[in-house]
């Protein structure tokens, strides 16, 4: 008998129509030979103290794996609180302010599921920005409202447009969440804190979600995580994937007022953070781990400054767009007449990957990013290789 199952009628229409988040490695797989400068990973490796013995690591990984991991992760949360504690704050951060999960993406999905009714509510994003906000919204059948960063004029600031965001939020009660990326991706620009305060001071029954994935590459003490005990509707997301070089363990976390953190923890899977992930995360944010992270971060910042100087000397490189507050650069690629051009940028991107073995990220189709490539800061050797191959590509296209 023929089955009556019809996937098209069974699955949610928004899932069937979903355009999933894509990265450069969907097109160019890592075969161990490519120089990977596309995903903003930390090229210097994980922030694990070099004095940790193999025996200690083995014990932390293997001991107790027959047991489920700690569902509350209190020890890890306390270390994360210490990481972002502000000595002058009247209400210090505590583990009650934290949600930890599988990368920041679990926090994004959890926040949307927590506050947005499918098919009814909306979120607000500020393009160009991280693509997973819109993907998570579509998965949950939530509409997306766009209020672009300031990309107008000859010298776009890539700053959030606070007045326009306020107006949009006040005029549409169905918007429950506003996602703001700081430093921005792909803009690399830190959000002005006073502009953010103007949003938080708005009389609005919704949540401001501040994504600080790249915060450790900005100025010291740039994180606003401690604001969550000042504002009842602020959530600040962070990750160990970037400055800590721990992308492979998938550990993200969200600081929030205790009531919001409790809701997020209530809806998560009971054992969402593995014992191995937790053990590695605690090593990374320990005092010795922080020392390694800062050493690697300083190398990246030095290389970022050097790469800016070197790229500026290449004729077909245009302006550096956005800011220099992350571990990547957003750069214009110019055509033969000196104009930022998507076709030229795509050719450079493709040729770098397919012929030169260097993978960066094409961003020309993003708002305000005409002709742009996003280049992750690599090691000194990787950056020198990038420059040499770029020169070759520009002679060939």
Report pLDDT for 51: 63
- Long-range contacts of 86-93, Cβ-Cβ distance < 8 Å, separation of 24 or more: 86/221, 86/226, 89/226, 89/229, 89/230, 91/229, 91/230, 92/226, 92/229, 93/225, 93/226, 93/228, 93/229, 93/255
Q: What are 144-161's pLDDT values in tens digits? A: 999 999 999 888 999 999
CA distances from 341 to 112, 200, 334, 335, 358 (A): 36, 38, 6, 6, 20
In total, how many domains does the chain have? 2
Asked whether residue 120 carries a pLDDT value surpassing 80, the answer given is yes
104 and 157 in a single domain? The answer is yes
281 and 298 in a single domain? The answer is no
Residue 126: CATH number of its domain: 3.40.640.10
Residue 53 confidence class, pLDDT cut points 50, 70, 90: low
Classify residue 249 as exposed, middle or buried by CB count within 10 Å of its CB (0-12, 13-18, 19+). buried
For range 37-58, the mean pLDDT? 72
Note whether residue 332 is domain-resident.
yes
CA distances from 23 to 7, 26, 37, 58, 135 (A): 27, 6, 12, 33, 13
Note whether residue 56 is domain-resident.
no
Residue ending a domain, among 238, 257, 286, is 286
280 and 300 in a single domain? The answer is no
Alpha-carbon distance of 227 to 202, in angstroms, equals 15
For 41-86, the DSSP string reads --TT-----TT--HHHHHHHHHTTTTSPPPSS-HHHHHHHHHHH--
DSSP H or E stretch at residue 145: strand 143-146
Note whether residue 375 is domain-resident.
yes
Three-state SS at 382: helix
Residue ending a domain, among 260, 286, 312, is 286
Would you say 84 and 221 are in contact if contact means Cβ atoms under 8 Å apart?
Answer: no
253 and 321 in a single domain? The answer is no
Residue 386 confidence class, pLDDT cut points 50, 70, 90: very high
278 and 378 in a single domain? The answer is no
- Angle between helix axes 380-396 and 287-311 (nearest 10 degrees) is 30
Note whether residue 5 is domain-resident.
no
- Which residues fall within 8 angstroms of residue 277, CB to CB, at 6 or more apart? 249, 250, 251
Note whether residue 137 is domain-resident.
yes
255 and 365 in a single domain? The answer is no
Report pLDDT for 22: 72
Report pLDDT for 314: 96
Q: What are 172-205's pLDDT values in tens digits? A: 999 999 999 999 999 999 999 999 999 999 989 8
Note whether residue 6 is domain-resident.
no
236 and 92 in a single domain? The answer is yes
- Which residues fall within 8 angstroms of residue 200, CB to CB, at 6 or more apart? 208, 227, 231, 233, 234
Report pLDDT for 155: 86
User: Measured at the alpha carbon of residue 187, what is the angle toward residues 171 and 183, in degrees to the nearest 5?
Assistant: 80
Dihedral of the CA atoms 73, 78, 79, 81 (nearest 10)? Answer: 120
Q: Which of 82, 106, 105, 86 is nearest to 95 (CA)?
A: 82
Asked whether residue 2 carries a pLDDT value surpassing 50, the answer given is no
For range 210-225, the mean pLDDT? 95
Report pLDDT for 277: 95
Asked whether residue 60 carries a pLDDT value surpassing 60, the answer given is no
Residue 316: CATH number of its domain: 3.90.1150.10
Share of the chain above pLDDT 70, in %: 90
77 and 149 in a single domain? The answer is yes
Sign, CA dihedral 382-385-391-397, equals negative
Residue 50 confidence class, pLDDT cut points 50, 70, 90: low
Report pLDDT for 4: 61
Note whether residue 1 is domain-resident.
no
Report pLDDT for 219: 86
217 and 90 in a single domain? The answer is yes
278 and 295 in a single domain? The answer is no
Report pLDDT for 64: 64
183 and 272 in a single domain? The answer is yes
Report pLDDT for 1: 38
| Rounded CA Rg of the chain | 22
Domain interval for residue 38: 11-47+290-396
Would you say 241 and 103 are in contact if contact means Cβ atoms under 8 Å apart?
Answer: yes
Note whether residue 3 is domain-resident.
no
Residue ending a domain, among 286, 307, 338, is 286
CA distances from 141 to 20, 97, 135, 356 (A): 14, 28, 10, 41
Alpha-carbon distance of 236 to 223, in angstroms, equals 9
Residue 38 confidence class, pLDDT cut points 50, 70, 90: confident
271 and 366 in a single domain? The answer is no
Asked whether residue 67 carries a pLDDT value surpassing 80, the answer given is no
């Amino acid at each position: 008998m023929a089955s009556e199952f019809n996937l098209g009628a069974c699955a949610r229409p928004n899932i069937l129509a979903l355009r999933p988040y894509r990265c450069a490695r969907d097109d160019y797989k890592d075969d161990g030979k490519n120089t990977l400068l596309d995903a903003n990973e930390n090229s210097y490796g994980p922030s694990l103290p070099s004095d940790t013995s193999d025996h200690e690591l083995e014990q932390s990984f293997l001991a107790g794996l027959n047991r489920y991991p700690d569902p509350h992760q209190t020890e890890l949360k306390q270390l994360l609180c210490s990481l972002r504690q502000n000595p002058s704050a009247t209400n210090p951060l505590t583990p009650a302010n934290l949600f930890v999960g599988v990368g920041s993406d679990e926090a994004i999905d959890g926040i949307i599921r927590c506050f947005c009714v499918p098919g009814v509510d909306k979120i607000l994003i500020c393009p160009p920005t991280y693509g997973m906000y819109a993907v998570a919204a579509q998965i949950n059948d939530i509409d997306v409202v766009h209020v672009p960063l300031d990309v107008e004029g000859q010298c776009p600031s890539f700053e959030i447009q606070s007045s326009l965001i306020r107006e949009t939020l006040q005029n549409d009660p169905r918007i429950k969440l506003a996602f703001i990326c700081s430093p921005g991706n792909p803009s690399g620009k830190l959000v002005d804190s006073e502009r953010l305060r103007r949003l938080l001071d708005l009389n609005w029954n919704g949540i401001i979600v501040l994504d600080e994935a790249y915060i450790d590459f900005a100025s010291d003490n740039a994180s606003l995580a401690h604001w969550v005990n000042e504002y009842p509707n602020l959530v600040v997301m962070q990750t160990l994937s970037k400055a800590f070089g721990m992308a492979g363990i998938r550990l993200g976390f969200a600081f929030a007022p205790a009531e919001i953190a409790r809701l997020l923890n209530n809806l998560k899977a009971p054992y969402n953070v593995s014992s191995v992930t937790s053990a590695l995360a605690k090593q990374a944010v320990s005092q010795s781990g922080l020392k390694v992270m800062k050493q690697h971060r300083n190398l990246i910042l030095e290389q970022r400054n050097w790469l800016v100087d070197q790229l500026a000397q290449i004729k077909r490189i245009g302006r550096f767009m956005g800011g220099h507050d992350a571990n990547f650069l957003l750069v214009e690629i110019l055509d033969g007449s000196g104009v930022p051009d998507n076709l030229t940028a795509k050719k450079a991107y493709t040729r770098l990957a397919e012929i030169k073995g260097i993978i960066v990220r094409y961003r020309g189709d993003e708002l305000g990013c005409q002709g742009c490539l996003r280049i992750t800061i690599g090691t000194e050797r990787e950056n020198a290789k990038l420059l040499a191959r770029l020169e070759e590509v520009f002679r060939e296209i």
